Structure 1
């Protein structure tokens, strides 16, 4: 049998003849379970968990980052020397780093920082899903600070 290339809906056979075989396995259904995982069920009954779907905030943050990158690339293509007139934000001194040393950033693109507990809850304070403030052993409140680019 020759090389078969699928283009659109019509196979193109190069160097041989084609014959239709038995239909293979295909996708029977796609759904999202209660844990927000994409579940794919095949016609042979096999089910695959394709992983957890991102939250809308994560998708929006990624969309904003992609838009900024697209605008920079377009400006460079148009001959701009400095396509981003806004300076990079300074990294806060109290920005948190993960185990690998990389700075921790929220889904909305803000550095995670600890703020001194001044007796009032800052508007950008982060909470556990049960509503409790996230704090460190010194009583500082975890907040989302300056935008990370």
Structure 2
């Protein structure tokens, strides 16, 4: 009859093999713990993507001022518990608002995004922005940088 024959193989578990298997198991467990620790630390949000991990915002209100060809842009940034909680526009040239009706909406969206993400636009985003928006962002960055220097 043509059946399937299975040969049994006996594996001897010697003390040497047991030590090798135990060592491999310990190394795998340490590797998993190490990788988990690294990913946990990497996912923690930083104060700003443009700042170093060791830099933290100091609580308070900070004024950022940037000159434009039609006047000053002045903002007040409030920081509480190492986060930007409020950005107020103290001064903004009215000529820019008269020339561009969308500018007020754009600045409100930028403020909302910065508070939500805690990130001021990257330099690539700033290159695509208008002159006035760049000056507005620079005023915010100046105020935030002051909190880092305190």
Q: Which TM-score band applies after superposition, normalised by the shorter structure?
A: under 0.3
More helix by proportion, 1 or 2?
2
TM-score (norm 2): 0.26
Higher RCO structure, 1 or 2 (CA under 8 Å, sep 6+): 2
TM-score (norm 1): 0.26
